[in-house]
Amino acid sequence: MNYQVIDKDTYYRKGVYRHFTEDCKCSVSMTARIDVTALAESSKRAGTKFYIDFLYLLTKVLNSREMAYLWQSDELIRYDVINPTQYIFHEDTETCTPVYSRYYEDYETFYRCALEDIEKAKQTREYMLDPTGHPNWFDASYISWLSYDSLNVELPDGYLYYLPIVNWGKYREENGRLTMPLTVRLNHAVADGFLLANVYRLLENKTEKFIDQRPRTRGGE
């Protein structure tokens, strides 16, 4: 795990950062419905799981520029890589098991490893959440039971947690297209409306490129 320390005095968002860490500590979140028609069709053709394909693209986007905060040393940092924490739901106990998957830029490697992580997690009912041992992991949670329109994830304003918290629901058909709700929560000290909206814009761009260059993998359904 490597990271770069950001000089707060020369940080390009210095004024904004100071304001939202001292005067008005708060987070910012957005829910928008995204069109996943092409990705769903592509996953079906390739015989892969849409969920893992989407998780790969989401993690790829969030690795483009994300911040974190080390409270022990009061440092603003940027990790070389951030990884997704999946949550596997168990129907029998109605509980979740966190799954610490690693991000690999190579799609086939990511797909294979994420699938293995999921299958392994299905064998346990332990919560096993370990944020201290996994500092550069962000929350990626699929709400499979509902195609919702709004979602809020609340953290205490004074807690300087900068990694993304991302949720998405099941997709539904609307006017012949498949749309899916996606909620992204970031700390306002390191993100404003432009940077938050950019997650959606980059996701659309990278999804198009991914489909155009569609790799094949084995082991999907």
What percent of the chain has a predicted confidence (pLDDT) above 90? 75
Closest listed residue to residue 157, CA positions, set 31, 22, 11, 66? 22
Helix (H) or strand (E) holding 194: helix 193-212
Check residue 221 and give its pLDDT: 41
How far apart CA 152 and CA 193 sit, in angstroms, is 16
**Structural domains in the chain plus CATH codes:** 3-212 (3.30.559.10)
Q: Is residue 89 a contact partner of residue 15, using CB atoms and an 8 Å limit?
A: no
Check residue 158 and give its pLDDT: 60
Q: At what angle do helices 107-121 and 50-62 cross, to 10 degrees?
A: 120
Check residue 220 and give its pLDDT: 42
| 165 bridge partner residues | 139, 185
Rounded mean pLDDT, 97-111: 96
What percent of the chain has a predicted confidence (pLDDT) above 70? 95
Rounded mean pLDDT, 171-182: 97
219 has pLDDT over 50: no
Check residue 185 and give its pLDDT: 93
Check residue 41 and give its pLDDT: 97
Q: How many CB atoms lie within 10 A of CB 168?
A: 25
| Tens digit of each residue's pLDDT (9 = 90 or more) over 129-176 | 898 899 999 999 999 999 999 998 888 766 788 999 999 999 999 999
Check residue 90 and give its pLDDT: 94
Check residue 141 and give its pLDDT: 96
How far apart CA 116 and CA 99 sit, in angstroms, is 10
Locate tokens 């001292």: which residue? 22
Rounded mean pLDDT, 54-60: 97
Quickly count helices (H) and strands (E) in the chain. 5, 10
Three-state secondary structure call for residue 39? helix
